[in-house]
Structure 1
Amino acid sequence: MTKLLEVNFLSKQFNHQAIIEDLSFTLYRGEIISIVGPSASGKTTLLRILSGLEQPSSGSIRMEGKDISKIKANKRNISLVFQQSLLFPHMTVEENVSYGAKLANKKRNEKIFQLLDAIGMKEFKNYYPSEISGGQQQRVALARAIATEPEVILFDEPFSHLDLRLRKELRTWVRKFLVERNMTAIFVTHDTEEAMLLGNRVAIFHEGTFQQFDENETLYKKPKSPFVANFIGGHLVLDKTHFVPFSSCHLLKPENSGPYKCYGATLQHVTYQHGQKIGHLFVKELNQNLSLPVKDIELEGGLKIYIPKQSIQSFSLNYTGSLYRS
């Protein structure tokens, strides 16, 4: 794989407060990564630094080996798609898509028409932003970003203002669009499901750095710290060094499983997901919630969670930070 973007020991302070601290990572050509973390953790600041809208306090950014840390935003081959589409209201769909390419001296009518066709907006090319839906506006914003022929596209929670159904449809469509064209992109979000759907690799951003940066399966099976395990969900954190996946927690005493740990739990409520009855439980001793299938299980009175000791795993990091509770 070819290295495209290299971030080395990047830091940013505002009023003597560290927002980003000694962050390093590599983005490969054709790769799509997601950065997910709590609100106000500095994710957007990172994108603004990568795009050139903010200057880092220290560290470097290299594109294909060239240091671009001091290069202005309009001279970097990087596009940024914001939460809102920010289309020009007085321009048509076609004019909006053409505008960025024109400024970058990369306007070709054939390319613009191909983009409009690719995003399914060819028949709406003469419409104004107020005449199309929110999802269509985001498609146009994506096409406008691509029209400048960037090496990297940055997405700052581009689906956050859309309703749930449209958000799910559009993020699937955008990922397919990028993958088919072997484009390189970084998505920022606070939604772990969205991060895992969009990214080949996912970075958990907290306290100014990546707590873990891995493929989805590794994040779930081998979280490095209690923060990561709690943030991505699906784990019961027993203490600062041990955890167990929800899949290894049982409401009925397991047979022939050897020694086990047991915790009392109370039922908070019941929902149905993908046709399955799910009990949402609270474990007071651990001060944690977990969700388990509860088909054919008596839910009246106190409940117990049984955990085979052989299922208990250890975190790979010696973690001293906050556990994080969602």
Structure 2
Amino acid sequence: MISLTDVSVTFPDGTVGLSDISLDVAPGEFICLVGPSGSGKTTLLRTIAGFISPSSGALSIAGAAMDGVPPEKRGLGMVFQQHAVWPHMNVFENVAYPLRRTGAFSAEAVSEALSLVGLDGFEKRSPASLSGGQRQRVALARAVVANPRVLLLDEALSALDEPLRDALRRDILALVRRQGLTTVHVTHDRSEALALADRVVVLSDGEVQQIGSPQEILTRPASALVASFMGDATVLPSGEAVMPADVVLSAVGSRRGIVQSVLFERTGYSITVLSEGLTFRAFTSERVSIGDEVGLEFQRVMGF
């Protein structure tokens, strides 16, 4: 459905936004783009959308080259971080806008889109009377009302508080599965990416570091960078990495350290331990306190 081959983006000031990105997104696939700030994830999404033109390489959607094709001609639906609903239009008119713009208005299509996002009966409501989650549902309905080939989500959930964010996350996944929508989602939330994606694309400095299923990304990271970013791994001086799941407290552990932080997380405690200048994360059912000395053992050390 979406194909990028050796796509690079260099901005007018010489900054490299993307470097030789190759990615194929299958029809109906849900892809999440993640990476640290400045990694290129938003640049990649905006390139797919047509807001940024590649400096080199090829981009196609549904087999058609996108060279010179403006965003509104690409058959895309897009939802941004901010709710981006027009305050002077009621809910119905907000959702109807893309259809009126193309001369394909259908009241039935608007009603169906609102039903898909759980907003039946909200047609006459003003955006000012809606909650943040409801406004984001309006934006989602507007994005899917014209049956787009691809749905692009640009930090679409990051402005919402939990548990609303979790509820909308579930609803979006159910919606795209029912509709068979090919979806590309930019998020800074690693847990969200792992929960939603068929495949995760990890970016850093405008380059792809790894593409894989959530399980592959967590259990077989391609580099210390991926292990550190996605799994909170600690990179050892040897260049190897150890993930929190492989760090256990042991009274006879050969590595000693001092507990720096303790957070309760439902079934136990997430802790950080400073040892020999390195900080390790671990999970334990034992109650420990900041300042305690503990022993650590590594069940597995990953080499790259």
* Residues 50-86 of structure 1, C-alpha deviations (whole Å, 9 max, x = no match): 1111211111111122211221111111122111121
Q: Following TM superposition, by how much is the alpha carbon of 1:175 offset from its aligned partner in structure 2, in angstroms? A: 1.1
Which residue in the other structure is 2:254 paired with?
262
Are the counterparts in 2 of residues 253 and 306 from structure 1 also a CA contact under 8 Å? no
- Counterpart for residue 324 of structure 1: none
Aligned residue in 2 for 1:148: 146
2:273 aligned residue = 281
2:239 and 2:270 map into 1 onto residues whose CA distance is: 28
Secondary structure of the 1:55 match is coil
Counterpart for residue 284 of structure 2: 293
Moved more, 161-170 or 194-203: 161-170
Contact 1:51–1:79 (Cα < 8 Å) also in 2: no
Q: 1:300 to 1:209 in 2, by over 3 A?
A: closer
Shift of 1:153: 0.8
Shift of 1:221: 0.6
In the alignment, the residues of structure 2 paired with residue 131 and residue 297 of structure 1 have an alpha-carbon distance, to the nearest angstrom, of 47
Contact 1:153 1:186 in 2 (8 A): yes
1:113-124 aligned at under 5 Å gives the runs 113-124=111-122
- SS of corresponding position for 2:33: strand
1:174-205 C-alpha deviation (Å, 9 max, x unpaired): 11111122111100011101111121111111
Find the counterpart in structure 1 of residue 107 from structure 2. Answer: 109
SS of 2:258 mapped into structure 1: strand
In structure 2, do the counterparts of structure 1 residues 63 and 84 end up closer, same or farther at CA, with 3 Å as the change threshold?
same
What amino acid is aligned across from residue 305 of structure 1 in structure 2?
Answer: L
How far 1:297 sits from its partner (Å)? 6.4
Normalising by structure 1, what TM-score?
0.87
- 1:37 paired with 2:35, answer yes
- Matches of 1:123 and 1:298, distance apart in 2: 52
Q: Please tell me the residue identity of whatever aligns with 1:79.
A: G
Q: Which amino acid aligns with 1:307?
A: F
1:130-141 mapped onto 2 (5 Å cutoff): 130-141=128-139
SS at match of 1:190: coil
Q: Within the alignment, does 1:314 sit opposite 2:290 as a pair?
A: no
Please list every run of 5 or more consecutive structure 2 residues that lacks an aligned counterpart in the other structure: none
- Opposite residue 30 of structure 1, the aligned amino acid is G
Distance 1:300 1:46, change over 3 A: closer
CA distance in 2, matches of 1:175, 1:91: 27
Alpha carbons 2:248, 2:284 under 8 Å: kept:
no
Larger mean CA deviation between 237-246 and 218-227 belongs to 237-246
2:4 alignment counterpart: 7
Shift of 1:288: 2.6
Partner secondary structure for residue 19 of structure 1: strand
The separation in 2 between residues aligned to 1:299 and 1:46, in whole angstroms, is 42
2:296 corresponds to which residue? 305
- CA shift digits 1:81-108 (9 cap, x unpaired): 1111211111110111111122233332
CA deviation profile, 1:196-234 (whole Å, cap 9, x unmatched): 112111111111021111000000111111110110124
Contact 2:260 2:291 in 1 (8 A): no
SS of residue paired to 1:250: strand
Q: Secondary structure at the match of 2:227?
A: helix
Distance 1:80 1:117 in 2: 18
**CA contact under 8 A between 2:77 and 2:150: conserved in structure 1?**
yes
Q: Which residue of 2 aligns with 1:57?
A: 55
Whether contact under 8 Å (2:38, 2:204) holds in the other structure is no
Range that drifts further, 67-76 or 125-134: 67-76
Separation of aligned partners in 1, 2:291 and 2:6:
54
Letter matched to residue 56 of structure 2:
S
| Cα deviation 1:277-322 (Å, max 9, x = unaligned) | 333322343x2331321416687642221125xx22222xxxxxxx
3-state DSSP of counterpart to 2:53: coil
Pairwise mapping of residues 73-112 of structure 1 onto structure 2 (< 5 A)? 73-112=71-110
String of CA shifts for 1:145-179, please: whole Å, max 9, x gaps.
10122100111001111113221221121111111
Equivalent position of 1:208 in the other structure: 206
TM-score normalised by the chain length of structure 2? 0.93
Query: Per the alignment, in what secondary structure is the counterpart of residue 254 of structure 2?
Result: strand
Q: Is the 8 A contact 1:263 1:306 kept in 2?
A: yes
